[in-house]
Amino acid sequence: MTAYYAAITTLLVSLAIVAIALFVSRSRLPSEASSAATSTVYRIRSVYFVIILVVAVISLAFTLPLTPYPNKYSEKKPDVTVKAIGEMWSWTLTPGADATSAGDNLILPVGKMVEFEVSSKDVNHNFAIYNSAGELIAQVQAMPDYTNRLFYTFNVPGHYYVLCLEYCGLAHHAMNTEFDVK
Amino acid sequence: MDDEQYGKAIRSVTQLWVWTVPALFLVLVLLGLTMRFNQAGIIDAGADFFYAVMTLHGLGMAGTAFVAGLAGVTYLLARYVRVNLAIAWAMYALTVLGIVGLVIACLIGKFGPGWYLLYPLPFITNGVWPDWALLLAVLSLIVLGVAWLLGQIDLFRALVARYGLTNALAWQYFGKQSAGRVEIPPIVLISTAACLVPGILTTIDGAVLLILYLFKWFSPSLTFDPLLLKNMVFLWGHTLVNITMYLGLAMVYELLPKYTGRPWKTNAVVALSWNAVLFLVLLAFFHHLYMDFAQPVSLQYIGQVASYLSAVPATVVTVFGVIGQVYRSGMQWRFVPLCFCLGIVGWVIGGFAAVVDSTITVNSAFHNTLWVPAHFHTYFIAGYILMLWGFLYEFSGSAREGLAKTGLWLLVAGAYGFLFMFYLGGALGVPRRFAAYGSIPITSLATISERMAFIASAFIVLLIIGLLIVFGVIYGGLANRAFAGSAPVPSQ
């Protein structure tokens, strides 16, 4: 839902910007009133300055605590751990002790916190999880020499897909895998 | 050399840029169209060709936009300072050399690691691009880096020689007003604080990165820290693109008052804002690494705070400055101010979309989806580029207002249609940098991605028709002007 809210906000603000531009461009007055018109703009600017600062600070206060990064102070122990390794141009998902698999197919439990330990054997990749409706629900970079830890709780059972979202060469667009949540 | 001779000389080199840039831009747009055609399934160019084209399109557009802005601002600053003409010519010649090298590396050598050459991908070729293509690309980028560093350093030298560093940064406006205060036009302040100081620093960063790449080409066993190099490439690339925008704004500050009849002077608020930009522009690049969870979290927070705060000086000073210029000014909507004001609108819309994406939690949904090219194409094709066309038209001396405006509206209509498909794709989670969508295993996502690429292609064709008209008018103006003889740049 984050993407939709963000997109709608952007659309509304863009329309407001166009409306302001139209209003300003259609304003007409003899040039002798020029200084009065400029003073009006600068008065509005002072008010705008305060408003945008307040909006920026409030937005930062609300959004900065929502970051997806592991927090060593408040971190809960994950229920399931999965090692996810990217390599040109495939993913290897290796379940830890608490996950199950049926043949090659990884199965993760619904409603349990999963930790993906994501890394790469060669170049940069990006471990992006999509649900079967095609919605991007979580992602993290897969970088060689580093392990990025992504925590996610799947509340909806179903079939999930992993796509690579960091350009990684010739078959980047075909680098994907799948798993189930039951 | 007297003022008239200098004016003619700097005009000659600028004229060469004005002939070159639209042609180059058109070729690069055609490369973009090729990519969207491929993604739509209209053509099947092959993934190796697609990614080589993608690399050339990215490097070419960022570089052309930047160097065109630098050349344009250098010309406009000729009213105030003189640059070294040999360096100005060298910047042109070396840029052409670098571009030729990149074209050969990408189109013949299939060099395709993306514009950002994210380490270690350029070195793990899997047989797609040969070693010589990598070497040629790195050397070409070094040549371009040297050319642009020379151009920036020489312009910086000229500004500091005339005004002194602190005056060029407008620090004299922070104290009490005194009779002897050196007044500087905004174009001097913007060029120094927002473009040249961060530009020189980050071009050096880029040069170091490329030299490391050169070392690794000669000695393949060398390894580097991928996270460090990722920080370095985005410090360079992000800042280059940002200061390109500011070069466009510098042109607007200098030329718009000519049409509105209102002065646009530096004052304490303007000085403070552009000095704030100097720092913010160097810190915002961290937002490119939000999804690298191994990056220290404090840097991620700095990225979001700097990205948010950069909207404050941008809108408070520049947007309200433009509104103050235009509102009830009785200005005639000629081609140049129309380009500038439409450009400001595109810059603000793209900037807002960028700030939205610079929110860490939103970035989890938008990172490396089509939202990213959506926002930066908005402030380029519907923003900065329009400002640049305004300058080119002004320089060309053309008077084909009606035809030029027709071209401009077609271009703008095509641009927003094409951009809307990018935004929609971003909101739906469509990945960027995919040669083809058919391999996406989620059928609904693959289908909608292809359809949006198809619609976007149609709008790009419209955009190209508009571009051709505008370029025709600019080239026509240039040809007539050259026949009439070059006018010297006024000196102060």
Reported ipTM: the value is: 0.93
Sheet with A148-153: strands ordered across:
A90-95, A80-87, A113-120, A148-153
Tokens representing B102 are 């990149």
**Is residue B118 within 8 Å of B61, Cβ to Cβ?**
no
List helix spans (H) across A26-121.
34-63
Fold held by A80-181: Immunoglobulin-like (2.60.40)
* A176-181 and A105-108 strand pairing: parallel
- Is residue B103 within 8 A of residue B59, CB to CB? The reply is no
pLDDT, average across residues B41-64? 96
pLDDT digits (tens, 9 = 90+) for B442-470: 999 999 999 999 999 999 999 999 999 99
| A170/B47 touch (CB, cutoff 8 Å), yes or no | yes
Residue B484 has pLDDT above 60, yes or no: no
3-state SS of B123-173? Answer: HCCCCCCCHHHHHHHHHHHHHHHHHHHHHHHHHHHHHHHHHCHHHHCCHHH
Mean pLDDT of A130-159: 96
Beta-carbon separation of B121 and A25 below 8 A: no
How far is C-alpha B161 from the geometric centre of its chain's CA atoms?
27
Candidate from A26-35, A161-170, B101-110, B472-481 with smallest mean pLDDT: A26-35
For chain A, list the strands marked E by DSSP.
80-87, 90-95, 100-102, 105-108, 113-120, 125-131, 136-142, 148-153, 158-164, 176-181
Partner residue facing A146 (CB), from B48, B294, B432:
B294
pLDDT at A148 over 90: yes
Q: What are phi and psi of B401, to 5 degrees?
A: -60, -50
For the record, the structure tokens of B477 come out as: 């103006």
Of B231, B209, B210, nearest to B101 by C-alpha is: B210
Q: Given a cut of 70, is residue A93 above it in pLDDT?
A: yes
> What integer best gives the mean pLDDT of chain B?
94
Would you say residue B486 has pLDDT above 50?
Answer: no
- B210 contacts B169 by C-beta, under 8 angstroms: no
Q: What does the pLDDT read at residue B383?
A: 97
Mutation target vs B (from A170, A176, A177, A180; most B CBs, 10 A cutoff): A170
> Between the CA of residue B402 and those of B33, B338, B381, B384, B473, what are the distances in Å?
27, 12, 21, 22, 10
Find, among B341, B348, B353, B149, the residue nearest to B251 by Cα: B341
Q: Do A30 and B439 touch (CB under 8 A)?
A: no
Q: What is the pLDDT of residue A76?
A: 76
pLDDT tens digits along B235-257 = 999 999 999 999 999 999 999 99
- Yes or no, beta carbons of A138 and B429 under 8 Å apart: no
Q: Do the Cβ atoms of A124 and B118 come within 8 Å?
A: yes
Question: Sign of the CA dihedral A177, A69, B198, B22?
Answer: positive
Distance CA B186, CA B131 (A): 47
Nearest CA in chain A to B420: A11
Residue A47 touches partner B, C-beta closer than 8 Å? no
Nearest to A10 among B48, B326, B353 (CB): B353
B439/A143 CB distance under 8 A: no
Show me where the domains of chain A are located.
2-66, 80-181
Considering Cα of B264, then B269, then B275, then B277, what sign does the dihedral take?
negative
Q: B63 vs B490, which has greater pLDDT?
A: B63
For B173, other C-beta atoms within 10 Å of its C-beta total 21
Residue B301 CA: distances (Å) to CA of A52, A63, A79? 19, 10, 28
| A78 vs B442: CA distance, rounded Å | 28
Which pLDDT belongs to residue B307? 95
